[in-house]
Structure 1
Amino acid sequence: MTPEPVDKANPSTVTYALAGNEPAEFIEAFIVDINGIARGKRVPMTALDRLYEKGLCLPASTALLDIWGGEVEDTGLVLETGDADHICWPILDKVWPQPWSQRSGGQLLMQMHANDGAPFAGDPRVVLNTVLERLNARGLHPVIAIELEFRLLEAELDSTGVPTPAKASTGLGQPSQLYGLEELERLDPVFADIQQACSAQGLPIDTLIAEQSEGQYEINLEHVDDAMQAADQALLLKRTIKACAHQHGLAASFMAKPFGMSAGNGMHVHISVLDDNQDNVFSKDSEPTECLMQSVAGLLNTMADATALFAPHANSYRRFQAGSHVPMAPSWGWDNRTTALRLPLATPAATRIEHRVAGADANPYLVLAAVLAGIEHGLDHGVLPSLETHGNAYDQHAPSLPDDWSVALARFEQSAFITDYIGATYQSWFAACKRQERDQLKCEVPTSEYAAYLQTV
């Protein structure tokens, strides 16, 4: 019999995120897998109490599927275990509405547990929580804001199998206008539905902007003083944007580099850290602190080891191109968007680090785990960073972050830093999942190679 977690929520206290929502007809109960994809089951609303009383059974391998939803034998969690179930428990006494559903639906985020009742090491939420506990033990509490870039595309691929930016995204024959307000007006029905759906779920979205490339936009979440909640909100925001786009006959994509010659989609993370007195440890008497500099150093020193988490797919590495506002080397600077770590100009209370490496295709839980681990590593070792970069970082720092998937995976697998913070078990599972994805893609020949080589060599 599977033990129940001590902090299991009470079904009698379950509420919606906001008052006034109609009772749901069904619940989508799900965990988050290694790729940041929601996986679970749809159950009738009448089964809600059962989910809180008995949990939801899913194979342990569900948390570690490849990008196509295939099982990964090399994790040792499939045939070797009989593909055994683990039990998943709701993480909160709250059901988020699912405003885009034709019928009234709810979303219930869950966390997987091992057979001894302990949180399952393969759940990304558990990975993030392990790092958070180390910071909390220091009396430190991160404040997080996540920015997500994405593309709005036509729902159907063109005749050559290539996506097309949403036709309504720009004026006829015009390029995209960075920060252009008309760009937003043209797709206002989509953005209005996204905003309403976020409001219904209690997702604190802040600004919406038109980005550099055709059909590219960015939505920012407001800062929250709970890193796990920040990751949950990023997950729910991605679901919301995709669902609302679909309702309007479009597709939303967080793919890192859908078009090779235009800007990629990033996930920028803003981090400040509070002490037990709720004071920002990155600033004192209106001056940056040693704690801030040590955190910067820790992030710089561990960035290459964690690149496989920031860039987890084959396409992720197409984003790393000089001059594209994507970091090519560990660097930092005040209000400098060419560096990997930007320290925005802000009031002392809002002094923070903007981490600019991750793609929008990355798992937000694993990105935050790597970022916060880098900060704790810097504090633990008391190191200080290299000199600040002024001006164009691309001209001053030779590319040194892994820009090849196999190199990044090898660095990740051999990293003592990753073993220490992420754990050897998850380190090996992640590598196994990504190797399977890599090896399958190696077997597929892109049309560009036929054009280049078929009749020329």
Structure 2
Amino acid sequence: MQNYLRKNPQVHSIRVAAADLNGQPRGKRIPARFANKVVSEGTRFPLSVMNLDIWGEDIDDSPLVFETGDRDGILRPTERGFVPMPWLSSPSALLPIWMYRDDGRPFEGDPRHALAAVLNRYKALGLRPVAAVELEFFLIDDSGKSLQVPVSPRSHKRRKAAEIMSIRALDAFDTFFGDLYDACEEMDIPADTAISEAGLGQFEINLMHQNDALRAADDAWLFKMLLKGMARRHGFAASFMAKPYEDYSGSGLHMHFSVLNEQGENVFDDGGARGTDTLRHAVAGCLSAMHDSALIFAPHGNSYDRLVPGNHAPTGICWAYENRTAALRIPSGNPSARRIEHRVAGGDVNPYLMMAAVLGAALNGIEDGKEPPEPITGNAYDMDLPQIPTDWGEAIDVFAKSKIMPRIFDPGLIRNFVLTKRQELHYMAELSPTEQVDIYLDTV
């Protein structure tokens, strides 16, 4: 890691940052000449910083604050190492970090450690998930009293319509997307296909699959940071807010995953379209945990505005082959790439918690040999199915009382997340819809 700064003498400052429970980067700015100490010894800040609300405030009654003296943890660099920050005007580098207790144990309230713990369960069974994500987002002009599509730098017009898979919509912001892809190359984020989506000024970018799910989550977290920063450099906002416009579809973060054995074989592949028993067990695990883990997939008040029947977001708990109305979709194609697409999460999620919830639930099903119900055919919105919670308060209560979540997440993280969300629920109720949008637009 020291080599990075030697090879890049133009970098005069670094940021060290970890993802808190809301996926917000928390950390410090440090002159580059003092970076070696951080690399070799780590840095310190309070354990409670990993458990702040969406405003960046301490959680009332959190045992991490006054009850324990607001004690420090130690944060060490992740294996990612330094990455450039091309959205800033001065040459800078980001060093992703994650938190440990002083005795060397991973801090149970760190979402990256939550995903690592799930992956260690796979490793103990000789398995390794392969994961990729599709991230939907909006480009927004938020300079006026109401949100609207930015003026195209190319045509100098404002296109006030949704255009699904429109080349014209992509070309309207060609300079922005060109700079964004160049920045992804600099940061080693494997950005693949871009399309325009069904919302107003909405787009989607796919990240290539990784056989290291922790790296895939890093890619998603870094991409969200990059996209928002690059958009501001171009004079508008980019947001992963689940539902900025009432009359248009919201943004999702779809996750595709398969599982490899020690021989590198896809354990979901049976050579045909149906998939193996292991695939069905994983599906069953995901379905069983979906109701209780809704708070992970829809963590904010605005998240639930997206979960509306007929608006391209799943609401019924079901699975299907090649059917985008289902919560879990088994895509068609080459059997060697047989996988599960989990379609519930909004764009506003913490990628580490989302991937931990999905992969942890799938592993529960595999370990238990659980069988799913029959896959559906047709329109899931028209069927009488078990439903994903559509109320934030209900989702918080369900998550807190779940018997399934402790198989996936440490009880300390569950407690911290519930306290966080209950505090946000309380204070969001005091704000107008406009004030709520202002908060979510830039943060999530």
TM over 0.5: yes
Between the aligned partners of 1:349 and 1:166, the Cα distance in structure 2 is: 42
Q: 1:308 to 1:173 in 2, by over 3 A?
A: closer
Q: Does 1:168 align with 2:155?
A: no
**Contact 1:75–1:428 under 8 Å retained in 2:** no
CA 383–245 in structure 1, closer or farther in 2 if over 3 Å, else same = same
Measure how far apart 1:85 and its partner are.
1.5
The counterpart of 1:123, out of the listed 110, 114, 123, is 110
Paired amino acid for 1:15? Y
CA deviations on 1:75-125 (whole Å, 9 max, x unpaired) are: 211112222221101112621111222111101000111121211111101
Alignment partner for residue 418 of structure 2, among 422, 431, 452? 431
Task: Output the CA distance in 2 between the equivalents of 1:288 and 1:370.
Answer: 22
One of 292, 299, 305 as aligned partner of 1:318: 305
Partner of 1:264: 250
Cα deviations by residue, 1:251-287 (Å, 9 ceiling, x for unpaired)? 1111001111111010000001100100000012335
Q: Which moved more, 1:245-254 or 1:88-97?
A: 88-97
Tell whether 2:43 aligns with 1:56. Answer: yes
Could you give the per-residue CA deviations for residues 286-321 of structure 1, whole angstroms, max 9, x where no partner exists? 351000011111101110011000000000000011
Q: What is the CA distance between 1:445 and its match in structure 2?
A: 4.5
The answer to whether structure 1 residue 357 and structure 2 residue 344 are counterparts is yes
1:433 is displaced (CA, Å) by 0.4
Q: How does 1:203-352 map to 2 (within 5 A)?
A: 203-286=189-272, 288-352=275-339
Match for 1:180 among 152, 155, 166? 166
Structure 2 distance, partners of 1:223, 1:394, is 29
Residue in 2 that maps onto 1:392: 379
**Does structure 1 conserve the Cα–Cα contact (< 8 Å) formed by 2:151 and 2:159?**
no
* CA–CA distance in structure 1, aligned partners of residues 90 and 158 of structure 2: 37
Alignment of 1:196 onto 2:185: no
Q: Measure, in 2, the Cα distance between the counterparts of 1:273 and 1:266.
A: 23
CA distance in 1: counterparts of 2:188 and 2:178, whole angstroms: 15
Counterpart of 2:148, as a letter, is T
Report deviation, 1:199.
Answer: 0.6
Closer, same or farther: CA 445–175 of 1 in aligned 2, 3 Å: closer
Contact in 1 for aligned 2:46/2:73 (Cα 8 Å): yes
TM-superposed CA distance for 1:21, in Å, is 5.4
Q: Is 1:28 matched with 2:12?
A: no
Residues 1:97 and 2:89 aligned together: no
Give the distance between the partners of 2:123 and 2:159, measured in 1 at CA: 53
Retained in 2: the 8 A contact 1:147–1:267? yes
CA contact (8 A) 2:150 2:158 kept: no
**Which residue does 1:451 correspond to in 2?**
none
2-structure distance, mates of 1:428, 1:447: 30
SS at match of 1:283: coil
1:415 alignment partner in structure 2:
402
For the residues of structure 2 that align with 1:352 and 1:165, how far apart are their CA atoms?
35
How much does 1:348 deviate? Answer: 1.3
- In structure 2, how many angstroms separate the alpha carbons of the residues matched to 1:446 and 1:283? 47
Q: Per-residue deviation at 1:385?
A: 1.0
**What stretches of structure 2 of length at least 5 have no aligned partner?**
436-444
Structure 1 window deviating more from structure 2 (411-420 vs 223-232): it is 411-420
Alignment CA distance shift 1:78-1:22 (3 Å) = same
Residue 427 of structure 2 corresponds to 440
Residue 189 of structure 1: how far off its partner (Å): 1.0
Tell me the TM-score normalised to structure 1 length: 0.91
**Cα distance between partner residues in 2 of 1:146 and 1:173:** 28
Task: Provide the rounded CA distance (Å) in 2 between the counterparts of 1:235 and 1:23.
Answer: 25
Tell me, in whole angstroms, the C-alpha distance in 2 between the residues paired with 1:45 and 1:445: 42
Deviation at 1:380, TM superposition (A): 1.5
Letter in 2 for 1:336: N
Counterpart contact for 1:15–1:93, Cα < 8 Å: no
Alignment length (residue pairs): 432
Deviations 1:346-386 (A, max 9, x none): 21110000000000000000000000111111112111111
Q: Which moved more, 1:130-139 or 1:61-70?
A: 130-139
Rounded to whole Å, the distance in 1 between the matches of 2:380 and 2:246 is 22
2:4 maps to 15
CA contact (8 A) 2:361 2:408 kept: no
SS in 1 for 2:396: helix
Kindly indicate whether the alpha-carbon contact (under 8 Å) linking 1:329 and 1:399 is maintained by their aligned counterparts in 2. Answer: yes
Two-structure CA RMSD over aligned residues (Å): 1.8
Normalising by structure 2, we get a TM-score of 0.94
1:147 aligns to 2:134 (yes or no): yes
Q: Which runs of 5+ in 1 are unaligned?
A: 1-10, 449-457
| Superposition deviation, residue 399 in structure 1 | 5.6
Relative distance call for 1:147 and 1:310 in structure 2 (3 A) is same
CA distance in 2, matches of 1:397, 1:323: 14
Distance in 2 (alpha carbons) for counterparts of 1:176 and 1:209:
12
Three-state SS of the structure 1 residue aligned to 2:265 is: coil
Asked if 1:71 is matched to 2:58, the reply is yes
Q: Judge conservation of contact 1:22–1:104 (CA < 8 Å) in 2.
A: no
Distance (whole Å) between structure 2 residues aligned to residue 111 and residue 193 of structure 1: 29
8 Å CA contact 1:271–1:352 kept in 2: the answer is: yes
